[in-house]
Amino acid sequence: MTDVLTTAQITETTTGGIVLGPNQYGKAEVRVVKVTRDTDRHEIEDLNVTSQLRGDLEGAHLAGDNAHVVPTDTQKNTVYAFARDGVGSPEAFLLRLANHFTSEFAWITGGRWLAESYAWERIVLEGDEHDHAFVRTGQEVRTAGVVADGDARHIVSGLKDLKVLKTTASGFEGYPKDRYTTLQETNDRILATSVATQWRYLPGIVDADFNAIYADVKRILLEEFSRRYSAALQTTLFDMGKAVLEAHPEIGEIRFSMPNSHHFVVDLSPFGLDNPNEVFYAADRPYGLIEATVTREGLAPAPEVWASVVPFV
């Protein structure tokens, strides 16, 4: 049993001064759509961008001094102004923002810049792709993050909401059982999940073809999900990550969060019907949640980078 601290003991352990901890600020979720109309055939780029700055900002927190507070509205306007010259890959766009803010304002020493990228494809009219009419598409949402710390730049790319399913070649057997276990073993089940993944590029990688790498990583993830029998979602997750790292030496590690979207066989016997694994109930909750990192042996961890590409807590 843990000892209960007395008021005197608590006071003794908290006699140090109260100071400002890590902090950042900026403009979140700036929606920017860039249409390139140099010819009659237009192109569209659609992003949701967050910009947050770090540096010598104690004055604002401790003394109400805004001399170093670059307005969040200025950060928003910068996103729009930079989009005027085109976006390219979201990673390259975020790098431009990071380099701008850390060079334009001497007291801004770093920050984080995040983006979601939404895909559009041309509407087909009478057999031909339309020049300027689009339909929102995409099997997933592309994500990107740039973390700046002094001169260092760290890039994390990823995707989320990539829903995949296979109707067989998956099972779950050999697990421990106790008096609360009701799950039946099976070697033939539906395996379904919604892939959320982020991969961190090795330090110094700032000018790669991020669009091409993204497309290839997605291809690998889909192929490896499909390739072989899955003894567990954990096994499939590792196979997917391993294949990405083998194909892309510029990537140091890849993280996954993959819910196990359960599909249960419906008992049709009350209706005088059999059900040879054909009719299922798709349960949205509760669900198994499988999370893991696949990394290169000996790679230096970067917890400060990962902490920056998720919401600040």
Dump pLDDT digits (tens) for 212-226: 999 999 999 999 999
Active-site residue set:
27, 72, 262
Share of the chain above pLDDT 90, in %: 92
* C-alpha to C-alpha distance for 243 and 221, rounded to whole angstroms: 8
Q: HSE on the CB side for 60, CA within 13 Å?
A: 14
- For residues 242-258, average pLDDT: 98
> pTM of the prediction?
0.92
- For residues 168-195, average pLDDT: 96
Please list, in sequence order, all residues whose beta carbon lies within 8 angstroms of the beta carbon of residue 30, skipping any fewer than 6 positions away: 48, 49, 50, 51, 75, 76, 79, 80
**By the 8 A CB rule, do 115 and 47 touch?**
yes
Residue 236: pLDDT over 90: yes
